[in-house]
Amino acid sequence: MVRRSRTPSPPSVSPEVLRRSSLLATRRDLFGLAGGLIGVTLAAHLLPGVALAQEEPPPPGEAFESHGLSAFDDLQLPKNFPHFPYVNPDAPKGGKVTMRVTQGSFDTFNTLNAYVLQGDAAAGMSMTFDSLMAGSGDEPDALYGLVAESVSVSPDRRTYSFRLRPEARFHDGTPITADDVVFSFNILKEKGHPSYRALLAEAEKAVAEGDDVVTFTLSESRGRDLHLLIASLPIFSKAWWDGRDFAASTLDAPLGSGAYKVGRFEVGRFIEFDRVGDYWARDLNVNVGQNNFDKIRYEYFRDEQVMFEAFKSGLINFHEEYTASLWANGYDFAAFRDGRVKREKIETAAAPNIQGWYFNTRRDKFADPRVREAIGLAFDFEWTNAKIMHDAYERTTSFFEHTPLKAEGLPSPEELALLEPFRGQVPDEVFGEPFVPPVSDGSGNDRNQLRRAFQLLTEAGYKREGNVLRGPDGKPFEIEFLDASARLQPHIQPFQAALGRLGIKATSRIVDPSQYQERLKNYDFDVVSVARRGSLTPGPELRVFYGSEAGRTPGGMNLAGITNPAVDALIERVANTRTREEITVAAKALDRVLRAGRYWVPMWFRADEWYAFWDVFSRPDTSPRYSSGAPGTWWFDADKAKRIGWRG
């Protein structure tokens, strides 16, 4: 079937949209372009001379062949589009961007295999691998052909046959074949990180049909977006891995095919990636105007202040700022005052991270939701925001914050239809207004909230003896906040002081990032702060974050240990919806149940992104809708560098 095109009229687009889960990341995550496998239909950002057309979805129940995939079979860009609308197709190549590491183990690494549980992986490794298809910063749930030039889809949407481009090559010049794709799928399913294994469980098989066609067959019970995950998987060289243990740590850079390959590195200090000059897909439409830097370097730091000093001195030339106090007070230095360093807030339609302090409900002291709610009441967000964060943030209240999926008000009839089977199994509040943390008086010592907290603890069997709160077992109630950085200590310490007024001994333990990751893998903590990227088109990844099986599996991302049949059932409902209307209803129902569980103390969010950078970059006039585009659509500007005397 040929997919017809039509010229769109500009739709009304809600700003509440989200990026893809970090688990589904591709190399474009560096560039702020992997807006996600999620989102809503949106208007194109048009560039002069670029005519875009909205792809009309194929009729349900019909087979079709396409140059791309999306959650709901709708694509914004036609076949053979010249480039994404938000790039400068004439952007020059050259220069270097140097950044800090902000995710995973950010003080060191000991492996270049980023797709298994073993070891602490180096930042940026996903840039070295291509995938069958690549995402667009304007369409968070759409993918367009990269290694695959097209895909044929069966009427029942269970079979996907990808036709590979004959020119696709690994860095050593060997062709990427269907056997390599099958190998990559099988090895991730069998030996990959537990989260990959969980998400790929519903993919039945992959078969190479010659060198240039690979066919995936999905189970009848698969989640709606499994085909998008498969199209986003890294492609490994079967020959390179022959005789090597995929599950083991390694400092040998695996053979890749992406726009970058591993350059110099020093464990514990830095890793560089060199642009591949003869990259096979350099001129492909999904790459035009991107991959502009000759070198991309990640610096590792054990201390935040040392990192910032490195930025001020020019060792780092691009910095995303996460600390409100530093943003407000830390930029009084010579290079900023004289204009060599710039600072900017970039508005995007992307939703913020979903961040909170998660309770480890595997531990008896956190088994009662009344106890968890009481602890949350001791956190005074209003005081923290005003006194520590310069009123730069809003309170997070939902697991789908700042999106249309957020539950508000009473459940709709459609939501109730999903929730009714669980009446008596979930708290009654699920059928009323969703839980929202109360607004404090901003004093830092809201007695009404603390009084309510003590009432809940009393109902749960806790008793105060002097300055000590004892549990039903007679033991003092003690809580340890685990972290790999002291960055949140100014926020946590007043929280802990308020807990102390309830008789709870709350302490912090700061460990090195490697130990931190190990303790998370083994669920060895009381309370931990976690930020994850949400999804406007959530799917099977919700099992990883909130599903019962993930909560029982070491190395999983369900850190709270949620084991709730209603949550599991609603996750499946969300993952198998077929329209945006259905997914909105199902996600709201899930949000109500999760919020009623009091699994976390929700933190805060911003709807913009903060960047500081040395004035050696230029960027397109248009940004991707679902991200800042920084620094991936940017380029090194030699004239600016000369003007400020840059020697980096």
Residue 268 pLDDT level (bands cut at 50, 70, 90): confident
**pLDDT score for 225:** 87
Establish if 610 belongs to a structural domain.
Answer: no
Q: Tally the C-alpha atoms within 13 A of residue 216's C-alpha that lie toward its C-beta.
A: 28
- Comparing 145-149, 565-569, 579-583, the range with the smallest average pLDDT is 579-583
Instruction: Identify which has the larger pLDDT, 6 or 526.
Output: 526
Distance CA 628, CA 295 (A): 21
**pLDDT score for 414:** 98
Q: Which domain holds residue 30?
A: 1-349+625-648
The answer to whether the CB of 617 falls within 8 A of the CB of 318 is: yes
> Residue 423 carries which DSSP code?
B
Residue 60 pLDDT level (bands cut at 50, 70, 90): low
Compute the average pLDDT of residues 408-424: 98
Residue 57 pLDDT level (bands cut at 50, 70, 90): low
**pLDDT score for 157:** 92
The answer to whether the CB of 409 falls within 8 A of the CB of 480 is: no
Nearest to 251 by CA among 129, 108, 127: 108
Establish if 494 belongs to a structural domain.
Answer: no
Does the pLDDT at position 103 exceed 90? no
Compute the average pLDDT of residues 487-491: 92
Instruction: Identify which has the larger pLDDT, 497 or 21.
Output: 497
In terms of domains, do 242 and 319 share one? yes
In terms of domains, do 137 and 199 share one? yes
Does the pLDDT at position 31 exceed 60? no
Residue 467 pLDDT level (bands cut at 50, 70, 90): very high
In terms of domains, do 599 and 634 share one? no
Distance CA 525, CA 516 (A): 9
| Residues with Cβ within 8 Å of residue 107, at least 6 apart in sequence | 268, 300, 301, 302, 484, 512, 513, 514
| Per-residue model confidence as pLDDT tens digits over 86-97 | 999 999 999 999
Nearest to 263 by CA among 98, 89, 450, 458: 98
In terms of domains, do 305 and 378 share one? no
In terms of domains, do 12 and 114 share one? yes
Cβ atoms within 10 Å of 142's Cβ, excluding its own:
26
Structure tokens at 607: 């709807």
Compute the average pLDDT of residues 589-601: 98
Compute the average pLDDT of residues 182-204: 93
The total of structural domains in the chain comes to 2
Does the pLDDT at position 14 exceed 80? no
**pLDDT score for 38:** 25
**pLDDT score for 626:** 85
In terms of domains, do 312 and 452 share one? no
In terms of domains, do 272 and 416 share one? no
Alpha helix locations (H) across 91-225?
Answer: 178-191, 194-199
**pLDDT score for 487:** 86
In terms of domains, do 247 and 336 share one? yes
Establish if 80 belongs to a structural domain.
Answer: yes
Residue 199 pLDDT level (bands cut at 50, 70, 90): confident
- Helix, strand, coil tally for the chain in percent (to 5): 25, 20, 50
**pLDDT score for 74:** 83
Q: Going by DSSP bridges, is the β-strand pair 478-483/468-470 parallel, antiparallel, or unpaired?
A: unpaired
Distance CA 257, CA 184 (A): 13
Establish if 7 belongs to a structural domain.
Answer: yes
**pLDDT score for 255:** 98
**pLDDT score for 303:** 84
**pLDDT score for 648:** 76
Residue whose pair of structure tokens reads 């990751």 in the numeric block:
517
**pLDDT score for 17:** 20
Establish if 476 belongs to a structural domain.
Answer: no
Dihedral of alpha carbons 314, 319, 322, 324, sign: positive
Does the pLDDT at position 11 exceed 50? no
Structure tokens at 327: 């943003």
Nearest to 622 by CA among 86, 57, 9, 168: 86
Peptide bond into 631 cis (omega under 30): yes
Establish if 198 belongs to a structural domain.
Answer: yes
Compute the average pLDDT of residues 224-236: 95
Nearest to 111 by CA among 120, 102, 124: 120
Residue 161 pLDDT level (bands cut at 50, 70, 90): very high
Distance CA 256, CA 267 (A): 20
Residue whose pair of structure tokens reads 């030339």 in the numeric block:
317
> Residue 433 carries which DSSP code?
S
Residue whose pair of structure tokens reads 């910063």 in the numeric block:
137
Does the pLDDT at position 105 exceed 60? no
Compute the average pLDDT of residues 378-394: 96
Share of the chain above pLDDT 70, in %: 90
- The CA-atom distances, in angstroms, between 50 and each of 87, 172, 287, 288, 621 are 11, 35, 16, 13, 14
The answer to whether the CB of 477 falls within 8 A of the CB of 460 is: no
> Residue 19 carries which DSSP code?
P
> Residue 645 carries which DSSP code?
T
Structure tokens at 25: 């990341």
Burial class (CB in 10 A: 0-12, 13-18, 19+), 556: buried
In terms of domains, do 451 and 572 share one? yes
Cβ atoms within 10 Å of 533's Cβ, excluding its own:
23
Establish if 560 belongs to a structural domain.
Answer: yes
Distance CA 259, CA 147 (A): 12
**pLDDT score for 104:** 53
| Residues with Cβ within 8 Å of residue 51, at least 6 apart in sequence | none
Does the pLDDT at position 176 exceed 50? yes
* CATH code of 423's domain: 3.10.105.10
In terms of domains, do 28 and 122 share one? yes
Residue whose pair of structure tokens reads 């992307």 in the numeric block:
350
**pLDDT score for 513:** 82
Does the pLDDT at position 47 exceed 50? no
Q: Tally the C-alpha atoms within 13 A of residue 479's C-alpha that lie toward its C-beta.
A: 29
Number of H helices and E strands in the chain, helices first, is 18, 28
Share of the chain above pLDDT 90, in %: 76
Distance CA 35, CA 28 (A): 9
* CATH code of 132's domain: 3.40.190.10
Establish if 611 belongs to a structural domain.
Answer: no
In terms of domains, do 547 and 636 share one? no
> Residue 466 carries which DSSP code?
T
In terms of domains, do 358 and 444 share one? yes
